[in-house]
Structure 1
Amino acid sequence: MNPSADLIEYLLRLGDSALIQGQRLCEWCGSAPALEEELALMNVGLDLIGQSRNWLEYAAELLDDGRDADHLAFRRDERALRNLLLVEQPNGDYAVTMTKQFLYDAWHLQMLRGLSSSSDERIAGIATKAFKEVTYHLRRSGEWVERLGDGTDESHRRMLNAIDQLWRFTVELTAADELEQRLFEAGIAANPQQVADAWQSTVADQLARATLPLPAPASPFYLSGRQGLHSEHLGLLLAEMQSLHRSHPDATW
């Protein structure tokens, strides 16, 4: 396998997941349950989109085919995206949104922790900066999981429904593939097993504080974001997210 091709694929996975999760959060603009929550959601979403740009810019440089980060974000079809299945799922109610954010944050923080020690200086620099932002993301989403899980009967019920709805998509957060293992052995990627173990520990501790049961580990199924096999929701998200850029691909401000 071409080491450069492996690295490009890895960068796309990181960039695409941050981009799609950021887009989902920004969909709350104008409809969040409180003004301060709307501002917080937009800030987290913009953090993720900024991180995505950093990963995609590096991928574009390695591709060296004339495409830039904007092209990678706005002109690829869903089969070309490599984001986690979890982040493309609809926002649902606020319990679903914050459960999804927490499950992603718990993985994201551990991934960035590992990448901060990457032998690739560009990756280590991006990860170190993003780690500071995601530390706040995880603290915030974890607090919401606890607040809703250990709140009223209604909020507890909604959290149970949210976990049930989203849990199967967590399989990608703990099941590494050969590409990740190769890049880890080369000193570039985070240790997949350490990321998985830390994610499981973080989630178990937070759900316990929220008086929520920890489900059994999710099992693999026929979809795979790594392979471009997405749920039906990604195409609809991209149609909205990419519409302006595709309508006016050469427009300048």
Structure 2
Amino acid sequence: MQPSISVRDDPSVQYLLRIGDTALIHAQRLAEWTGHAPVLEEDIALANMALDLVGQARALLTHAGVLEGAGHDEDRLAFLRDERDYRNVTLVELPRGDFAVTVLRNAMVATFLRLLWKQLRHSSDAELAAIAGKAVKEARYHQQHAADWVVRLGQGTDESLRRLRAALDQLWRYSAELFADDAVDEHASATGLGPRWGDLSEAWDAEMAALLGEAGLEVPRGTPFLSTGKRGVHSEHMGFLLAEMQHLQRSFPGGVW
């Protein structure tokens, strides 16, 4: 069995891992729809969005490995860390759920990533700015695609609206973690690496409120609950996801196609 690697606590590296891991784990959940989506076109669309996110994750993890300077490439960072060393938000690791859960979560995450990538195009880190220049176009498409489905479900049948409401009740409480700032965010802001995630909250709230309103839903009231995936403290679902994602790399060290 391939042993785990550890990653330094450098705030610049951690900032990149938060974005890269969120894209990677979100891609894993979207990819679970391959062969199972309600229509063939959507099967292909979800798979393509997952591939976009994997591409973003690869670029970010590669750059994080360079900044860390410990010789870890994107594959080692993706597949050989322990659960507590992943920095994705909890929202993306929650179970795939039904189609309403998938499209609403995709709308929430894509809206956030589009706002983040827009800011990161002006990063003091030239490599990160270049990654953002391409990724923002992908996030814009992901957001529009997901938003179209949210509205379609909200304005569809009683059953589709019921499922969308249930998805909103399940997912919304996890959105607060996106905007919970800490020392990593403060370092990124001070050095020009990227914005504090909390600085994106107002724009995200406005866009999501408009989308939910068009779908016939109200924005849920906030709660004191705050998930902690960005700090490496994950839900019970993360271990099962990683066990599947890491199986080949762990079982066959150094294996290549």
TM-score range normalised by the length of the shorter chain: over 0.9
- Assess if the C-alpha contact under 8 Å between 1:181 and 1:192 holds in 2: no
Q: 1:196/1:61 Cα in 2 relative to 1: closer, same or farther (>3 Å)?
A: same
Q: Percent identity?
A: 46
State the 1:100 CA deviation.
0.8
1:150 paired to 2:155:
yes
- Assess if the C-alpha contact under 8 Å between 1:148 and 1:210 holds in 2: yes
Q: Which residue of 2 aligns with 1:31?
A: 36
- Assess if the C-alpha contact under 8 Å between 1:114 and 1:189 holds in 2: yes
1:166 paired to 2:206:
no
Alignment of 1:92-171 (within 5 A): 92-171=97-176
Q: 1:184/1:89 Cα in 2 relative to 1: closer, same or farther (>3 Å)?
A: same
Measure the CA separation in 2 of the matches of 1:143 and 1:116: 26
Pick aligned residue for 2:218 from 199, 202, 213 = 213
1:59 paired to 2:67:
no
Q: Which residue of 1 aligns with 2:244?
A: 240
TM norm structure 1: 0.95
Measure the CA separation in 1 of the matches of 2:71 and 2:124: 27
1:72 paired to 2:80:
no
- Assess if the C-alpha contact under 8 Å between 2:30 and 2:46 holds in 1: yes
TM norm structure 2: 0.94
| Cα-Cα RMSD | 1.4
1:40 paired to 2:45:
yes
> Which SS does the other structure have where 2:58 is aligned?
helix
Measure the CA separation in 1 of the matches of 2:126 and 2:45: 31
Query: Which runs of structure 1 show a deviation greater than 4 angstroms over 4 or more consecutive aligned residues?
Result: none
State the 1:218 CA deviation.
4.4
1:183 paired to 2:193:
no
> Which SS does the other structure have where 1:197 is aligned?
helix
1:251 paired to 2:217:
no
State the 1:219 CA deviation.
3.0
Pick aligned residue for 2:229 from 208, 225, 248 = 225
Measure the CA separation in 2 of the matches of 1:142 and 1:216: 21
- Assess if the C-alpha contact under 8 Å between 1:171 and 1:219 holds in 2: no
State the 1:185 CA deviation.
2.3
Aligned length: 250
Measure the CA separation in 1 of the matches of 2:187 and 2:69: 23
Structure 2 segments unaligned to the other structure (5+ residues): 1-8
Structure 1 segments unaligned to the other structure (5+ residues): none
Measure the CA separation in 1 of the matches of 2:198 and 2:230: 17
Q: 1:43/1:187 Cα in 2 relative to 1: closer, same or farther (>3 Å)?
A: same
Q: 1:218/1:177 Cα in 2 relative to 1: closer, same or farther (>3 Å)?
A: farther
- Assess if the C-alpha contact under 8 Å between 2:107 and 2:147 holds in 1: yes
Could you report, residue by residue, the CA deviation over 1:38-86 in whole angstroms, capped at 9, with x for unpaired residues?
0000000000000000000001111221221100101111111000100
Amino acid at match of 2:184: L
Pick aligned residue for 1:199 from 204, 209, 217 = 204
Amino acid at match of 1:231: S
State the 1:183 CA deviation.
1.2
